[in-house]
């Protein structure tokens, strides 16, 4: 409905100079905004340009950054996974409960990852085999996974994790201010970027989002594609949950409540259409960093987290509305007497 | 067309029964839960408090779920309702504590109007900017909650700030039925009648089934979608008043997470998330089932920690059942077509 991918705009755009073409895409606008926020914050907010700020900023956004990768792919196929925040909580609880039962940490983490695979498979199978809408399915598993997590540990928290692991979650690569956790993130980013942008499987993901039927007729296994993506989302969420547990040294049933909305807000801000078929990973990464930098700067400037939430929400609304208003204006200017072609 | 209609008249009857069975199943589940909990502990139903809570607790979510159902039937979703409930609940408390002696009716109206205005913002952004409602209402979910938290800060409205006559509304009963429940049922009946019988109500279904076709047919898609969001917001506003009356204390987190409860209630009640299918009755039953289970679990000896898991399993079970029934119905329709 509002996507413009399939319109002949990309052809038209070559008549504009390069800078206008770059600004015209959603992704580069977000990158530009990120740079502006970073520069303005570094020059006006005391403490933002300190190296330690970058460390905490990255540590804070890491769970969102990680989960946003598979979520981007899922949403490009036109589906959604609302259960990711609950999966973070569940994997956190699984890790904690097993460590409490004197399992070695590595094994406990492995089991948590398997739980992530399993949870993702449940979502994926309900969506593909049973044919249910993912929004409804993952509202169900959002409650289910969170319920199991809270049910298992109750209100207690497991806090006695091996020191070397909790230290690793916060440690920085020697000589830099960049946390170690950025290494697995960058590897994942590279893998996801290559898969999405340079493989037939990735092209299939876009095809599924643009038209399921057309994708099927051109040989894409729609069901298998979606199933794989849901499993990936589950396992990456579980990984984020293990990181979350170590970072705060605490496994609780209510860990990362509401994280799903933060991830989806970032993915949408990064230019992924909830109708599917459109979006790029670098836009999403830039959007996560934009929200992170903005809230980090505002917090340093003593703005409360509630105002930051308002700003995040308004930013999200403005960005999607502005994109659609711009598209409408462009269309109107180009074809003044044929406006109703994509209406409805 | 007409011959088929005549031939299938007996079939439509069975199909109608099947369609009703969808909501009957939920009703049956509610009855089962209540019976089981009552056998375990008769006070669940037969004590004064038990009876009142049984009717009162679901009434608040019921209102939100009815509005949500209307929005979902138009193939949209309103994720901001939890924040609207919180904001209007706090407004209710503040009006009473800041303006002593303010008439209750005025406060109720103010909350409904505020809720309706917030719904209007959602609706206008969705209908005019042509942006998916999930994104818009996700944004306003944050924005409205943020406004609530900034406004309330760490303050909270306590029962002592509220006039006794207002709190009496939350506990008051008419023929042993709580007043709030009566109001909720009246709203439900009105909405149910409108969606089933009024032409403009039926148009919501047409819009949800196929927005493009509805547009081409000349239905006022923009106006209906706008009104659905205003209705959802206004009902969430009324729920905010109920919340304040029922619980007496309102902090800035009132109603948080209700958006998913409301969507869950609608989905359990057979409202299809893709629009065009379902009734507000089903959504209301879904809300009753969700809230009743929450109260029944501890009575049944299951720690309330496991509530969420049961609710989740319930949502999944309901949508799977719905899907199975839909597939069976389609097969029957195809068979009927082939026979004729």
pLDDT tens, position by position, B213-250: 888 887 888 888 899 999 999 999 999 998 988 888 88
- Cα A32 vs. chain centroid, distance in angstroms? 19
Asked whether residue A104 is assigned to any structural domain, the reply reads yes
Pairing of strands B173-174, B177-178: antiparallel
Q: Is the pLDDT of residue A226 over 80?
A: yes
Asked whether residue A16 is assigned to any structural domain, the reply reads no
Asked whether residue A196 is assigned to any structural domain, the reply reads yes
Asked whether residue A218 is assigned to any structural domain, the reply reads yes
Interface of B with A in 316-335 (CB under 8 A): 316, 319-320, 323
d(CA A107, CA A113): 10
CATH of region B10-36+48-325, choose from 1.10.3470, 2.60.40, 3.40.720, 3.30.1120: 1.10.3470
For B2-49, what is each residue's pLDDT tens digit?
444 445 566 566 555 555 556 777 888 888 888 888 888 887 777 777
Q: Is the pLDDT of residue A246 over 80?
A: yes
pLDDT at residue B325, as a whole number: 78
* Residue of B79, B259, B308, B322 to mutate, interface with A, max A Cβ within 10 Å: B308
The total number of structural domains that make up chain A: 1
Chain A residues in contact with B150 by the CB 8 A cut-off are 304, 306-307, 310
Q: Using alpha carbons, select from B57, B78, B85 the residue that is nearest to residue B127.
A: B78
Closest in A142, A147, A321 to B129, CB measured: A321
d(CA B241, CA B246): 9
* Helices A305-334, A281-300: crossing angle, 10 deg rounding: 140
Residues A138/A81, Cβ–Cβ less than 8 Å: yes
Asked whether residue A20 is assigned to any structural domain, the reply reads no
- Residue that the structure tokens 């209609």 belong to: B5
CATH of the domain at A72: 1.10.3470
For A256-291, what is each residue's pLDDT tens digit?
887 888 898 899 889 888 888 888 999 999 999 999
> ipTM value of the model?
0.79
Q: What is the mean pLDDT of residues A90-98?
A: 95
Query: pLDDT band at A336, cuts 50/70/90?
Result: low
The four Cα atoms A217, A221, A227, A232 give a dihedral, to 10 degrees, of -110
Q: Is A145 on the interface with B (CB under 8 A)?
A: yes
Q: Is the pTM of this model over 0.90?
A: no
Quote the strand ranges of chain B, DSSP E: 173-174, 177-178
Closest approach of B12 to chain A, Cα-based (Å): 25
* Residue of A90, A121, A136, A264 to mutate, interface with B, max B Cβ within 10 Å: A136
Q: Is the pLDDT of residue B104 over 90?
A: no
Quote the strand ranges of chain A, DSSP E: none
Other CB atoms within a 10 A radius of the CB of residue B98 amount to 9
Q: Using alpha carbons, select from B88, B317, B115 the residue that is nearest to residue B230.
A: B115
Residues B279/B196, Cβ–Cβ less than 8 Å: yes
Q: What is the mean pLDDT of residues B80-96?
A: 90
> Could you state, in order of their start, the residue ranges of all structural domains in chain B?
10-36+48-325
List the domain range (segments joined by +) for residue A63: 26-330
Chain A residues in contact with B134 by the CB 8 A cut-off are 80, 135, 274
Q: What is the mean pLDDT of residues A210-228?
A: 91
Percentage of residues in chain A having pLDDT higher than 90: 43
User: For chain A, what is the radius of gyration of the CA atoms?
Assistant: 21
Residues B61/B258, Cβ–Cβ less than 8 Å: yes
């Amino acid at each position: 409905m509002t996507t413009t991918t399939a319109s002949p705009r990309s052809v038209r755009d070559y008549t504009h100079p390069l800078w206008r073409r770059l600004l015209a895409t959603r992704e580069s606008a977000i990158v530009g905004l990120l740079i502006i926020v970073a520069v303005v914050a570094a020059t006006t907010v005391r403490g933002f340009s300190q190296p330690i700020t970058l460390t905490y900023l990255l540590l804070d956004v890491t769970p969102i950054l990680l989960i946003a990768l598979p979520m981007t792919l899922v949403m490009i196929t036109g589906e959604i996974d609302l259960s990711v925040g609950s999966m973070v909580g569940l994997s956190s609880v699984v890790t904690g409960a097993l460590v409490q039962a004197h399992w070695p940490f590595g094994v406990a983490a492995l089991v948590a990852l398997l739980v992530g695979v399993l949870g993702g498979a449940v979502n994926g199978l309900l969506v593909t085999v049973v044919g249910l809408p993912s929004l409804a399915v993952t509202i169900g598993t959002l409650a289910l996974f969170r319920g199991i997590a809270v049910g298992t540990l109750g209100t207690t928290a497991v806090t006695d994790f091996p020191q070397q692991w909790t230290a690793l979650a916060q440690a920085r690569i020697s000589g830099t201010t960049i946390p170690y956790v950025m290494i697995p993130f960058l590897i994942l980013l590279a893998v996801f970027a290559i898969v999405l942008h340079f493989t037939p499987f990735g092209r299939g993901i876009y095809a599924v989002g643009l038209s399921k039927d057309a994708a099927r007729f051109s040989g894409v296994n729609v069901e298998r594609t979606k199933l794989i993506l849901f499993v990936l989302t589950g396992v990456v969420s579980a990984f984020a949950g293990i990181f979350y547990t170590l970072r705060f040294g605490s496994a609780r049933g209510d860990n990362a409540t509401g994280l799903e909305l933060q991830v989806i807000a970032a993915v949408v801000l990064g230019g992924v259409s909830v109708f599917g078929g459109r979006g790029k990973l670098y836009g999403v990464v830039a959007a996560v960093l934009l929200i992170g930098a903005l809230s980090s700067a505002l917090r340093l400037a003593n703005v409360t987290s509630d105002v930051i939430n308002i700003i995040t929400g308004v930013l999200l609304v403005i960005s999607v509305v502005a994109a659609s208003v711009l598209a409408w204006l462009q269309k109107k200017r180009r074809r003044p007497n044929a406006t109703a072609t994509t209406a409805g | 067309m007409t011959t088929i209609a005549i031939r299938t008249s007996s079939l439509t009857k069975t199909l109608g029964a099947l369609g009703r069975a969808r909501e009957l199943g939920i009703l049956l589940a509610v009855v089962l839960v209540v019976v089981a909990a009552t056998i375990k502990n008769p006070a669940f139903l037969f004590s004064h408090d038990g009876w009142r809570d049984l009717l009162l607790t679901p009434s608040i979510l019921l209102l939100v779920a009815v509005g949500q159902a209307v929005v979902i039937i138009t193939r949209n979703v309103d994720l901001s309702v939890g924040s609207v409930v919180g904001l209007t609940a706090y407004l209710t408390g503040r009006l009473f504590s800041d303006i002593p002696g303010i008439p209750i009716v005025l406060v109720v109206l103010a909350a409904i109007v505020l809720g309706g205005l917030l719904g209007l913002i959602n609706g206008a952004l969705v209908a005019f900017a042509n942006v998916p409602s999930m994104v818009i209402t996700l944004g306003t979910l944050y924005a409205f909650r943020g406004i609530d938290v900034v406004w309330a800060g760490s303050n909270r409205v306590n029962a002592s700030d509220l006039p006794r006559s207002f709190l009496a509304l939350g506990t008051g009963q008419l023929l042993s039925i709580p007043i709030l429940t009566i109001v909720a049922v009246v709203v439900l009946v009105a909405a149910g009648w409108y969606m089933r019988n009024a032409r403009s109500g039926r148009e919501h279904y047409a819009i949800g089934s196929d927005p493009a076709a509805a547009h081409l047919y000349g239905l006022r898609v923009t106006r209906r979608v706008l009104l659905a969001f205003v209705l959802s917001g206004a009902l969430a506003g009324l729920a905010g008043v109920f919340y304040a009356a029922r619980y007496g204390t309102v902090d800035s987190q009132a109603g948080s997470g209700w958006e998913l409860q409301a969507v869950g209630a609608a989905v359990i009640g057979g409202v299809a998330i893709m629009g065009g299918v379902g009734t507000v009755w089903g959504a209301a039953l879904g809300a009753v089932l969700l809230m009743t289970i929450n109260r029944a679990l501890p009575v049944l000896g299951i720690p309330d920690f496991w509530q969420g898991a049961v609710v989740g399993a319930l949502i999944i079970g309901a949508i799977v059942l719905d899907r199975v029934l839909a597939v069976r119905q389609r097969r029957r329709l195809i068979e009927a077509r082939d026979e004729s």
